[in-house]
C-alpha cells in the first residue's frame, strides 16, 4: 500500500533551492525528483512502491546500443520510471546545451520501459514533457525552473503523476500527413501552372527535389507529385 505523501516544500522554496544547486547528475536528479514529489503532494517512488516493480528511481534497462554518448555495453538506467505513466531522464545542470541527449537516451529505453505515454527529460534548469502516444503527433511541453511556481506549470507537472492521458494530443499522425499532402498538392499545382505561363526564364523542370533523399515521407510525396505530373527523386 502506498504511503501518504508528505507536503514539505512550497513552489517558491523549490525554485530558490534548485536555482542555487550545483550537484552531480545522480545526486541532483534523485533529490530534485523527491523534492518535486513533496512540492506536488505526490508519493515518492519508495512511498508508492517499496519494492520497485511499478515505480522506482534508477530503473535498470537493457538497450540495443550504448545508453549514452561515450558509454559501453547494453545496459543503462532510467532516472525515474512509473509503469504506464512516465519515464524520466536527467542530465547534469549546465552540462549540455539542451535536452536532446537526455531525450535520445530515453528513446533507447522506451521499449524496455513498456513504452510509457510520457517521456520527461530535465537538467533541473529546464524540464520537457514529451508525449509518446501511439498514432498521435508528438507534443512537447517545456517548463523553465524560474516559471515552476506558476499555476499552469504546477498543473502540467501534477498531471504527469495523476492524469498522463490528459496529455494525449487531439491531432493524429494521419491528420498531419493529410494536411501536409494537401499543402504539397496545392503548391505543386501552383508551380505547374506557372511553368506554362510565358516568361523569360528557363522552363520549369520535370524533376524537382523537394525533399531530402533520406526520410520516411518520400513514398507519400512521390505519389502526391505523380497526381500533378511532376517527379521527385
Which position has the higher pLDDT, 201 or 24?
Answer: 24
Categorize the per-residue pLDDT at 198 as very low, low, confident or very high, splitting at 50, 70 and 90.
low
161 and 181, same domain (yes or no)? no
% of residues, the chain, pLDDT over 90: 50
Q: How far apart are CA 195 and CA 126, in angstroms?
A: 49
The string of pLDDT tens digits covering residues 139-151 is: 999 999 999 999 9
55 and 122, same domain (yes or no)? yes
CB 49 within 8 A of CB 57: no
Burial grade of 21 (CB within 10 A; 0-12, 13-18, 19 or more): middle
pLDDT at 156 over 50: yes
218 and 181, same domain (yes or no)? yes
53 and 156, same domain (yes or no)? yes
The mean per-residue pLDDT over the stretch 101-127 comes to 94
Single residue among 134, 167, 200 that ends a domain in this structure: 167
Range of the domain at 215: 173-226
Question: According to the model, what pLDDT value does residue 162 have?
Answer: 97
66 and 154, same domain (yes or no)? yes
The mean per-residue pLDDT over the stretch 127-135 comes to 95
27 and 133, same domain (yes or no)? yes
Q: How far apart are CA 149 and CA 145, in angstroms?
A: 8
CB 38 within 8 A of CB 32: no
Q: Which of 36-40, 46-50, 176-180 has the lowest mean pLDDT?
A: 176-180
Q: Which of 64, 39, 61 has its CA nearest to residue 127?
A: 39
152 and 181, same domain (yes or no)? no
Q: Is residue 233 part of a domain?
A: no
Categorize the per-residue pLDDT at 206 as very low, low, confident or very high, splitting at 50, 70 and 90.
very low
Single residue among 145, 167, 189 that ends a domain in this structure: 167
pLDDT at 226 over 50: no
> For the chain, how are helix, strand and coil distributed in percent, rounded to 5?
40, 20, 40
Chain centroid to CA 87: how far?
10
Q: Is residue 3 part of a domain?
A: no
% of residues, the chain, pLDDT over 70: 73
C-alpha cell at 15: 525554485
138 and 201, same domain (yes or no)? no
Q: How many domains does the chain have?
A: 2
The mean per-residue pLDDT over the stretch 160-186 comes to 81
197 and 142, same domain (yes or no)? no
Mean pLDDT for all residues in the chain: 80
129 and 212, same domain (yes or no)? no
The model carries a pTM of 0.69
pLDDT at 110 over 50: yes
Q: Is residue 130 part of a domain?
A: yes
CB 211 within 8 A of CB 225: no
Q: Is residue 4 part of a domain?
A: no
DSSP type of residue 189:
H
Question: According to the model, what pLDDT value does residue 186 have?
Answer: 77
194 and 111, same domain (yes or no)? no
Single residue among 139, 167, 195 that ends a domain in this structure: 167
Give me the phi and psi of 86, to 5 degrees please. -160, 160
142 and 217, same domain (yes or no)? no
The string of pLDDT tens digits covering residues 50-109 is: 888 888 887 878 775 555 555 555 778 888 999 999 999 999 988 899 999 999 999 999
Q: How far apart are CA 109 and CA 61, in angstroms?
A: 7
C-alpha cell at 201: 526564364
Q: What is the CATH number of the domain that holds 111?
A: 3.90.1570
Amino acid at each position: 500500500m502506498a504511503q501518504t505523501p508528505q507536503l514539505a516544500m512550497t513552489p517558491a522554496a523549490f525554485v530558490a533551492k534548485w536555482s542555487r544547486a550545483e550537484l552531480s547528475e545522480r545526486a541532483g536528479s534523485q533529490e530534485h525528483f523527491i523534492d518535486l514529489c513533496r512540492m506536488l503532494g505526490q508519493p515518492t517512488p519508495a512511498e508508492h512502491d517499496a519494492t520497485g516493480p511499478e515505480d522506482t528511481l534508477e530503473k535498470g534497462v537493457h538497450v540495443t546500443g550504448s545508453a549514452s554518448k561515450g558509454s559501453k555495453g547494453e545496459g543503462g538506467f532510467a532516472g525515474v520510471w512509473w509503469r504506464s505513466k512516465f519515464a524520466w531522464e536527467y542530465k547534469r545542470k549546465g552540462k549540455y546545451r539542451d535536452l536532446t541527449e537526455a531525450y535520445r537516451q530515453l528513446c533507447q529505453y522506451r521499449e524496455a520501459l513498456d513504452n510509457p505515454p510520457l517521456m520527461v527529460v530535465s537538467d533541473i534548469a529546464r524540464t520537457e514533457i514529451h508525449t509518446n502516444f501511439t498514432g498521435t503527433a508528438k507534443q512537447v511541453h517545456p517548463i523553465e525552473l524560474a516559471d515552476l511556481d506558476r499555476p499552469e506549470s504546477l498543473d502540467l507537472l501534477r498531471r504527469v503523476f495523476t492524469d498522463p492521458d490528459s496529455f494525449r494530443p487531439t491531432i493524429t499522425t494521419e491528420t498531419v500527413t493529410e494536411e501536409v499532402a494537401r499543402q504539397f498538392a496545392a503548391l505543386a499545382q501552383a508551380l505547374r501552372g506557372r511553368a506554362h505561363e510565358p516568361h523569360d526564364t528557363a522552363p520549369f523542370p520535370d524533376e524537382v527535389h523537394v525533399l531530402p533523399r533520406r526520410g520516411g515521407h518520400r513514398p507519400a510525396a512521390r505519389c502526391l507529385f505523380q497526381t500533378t505530373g511532376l517527379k521527385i527523386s
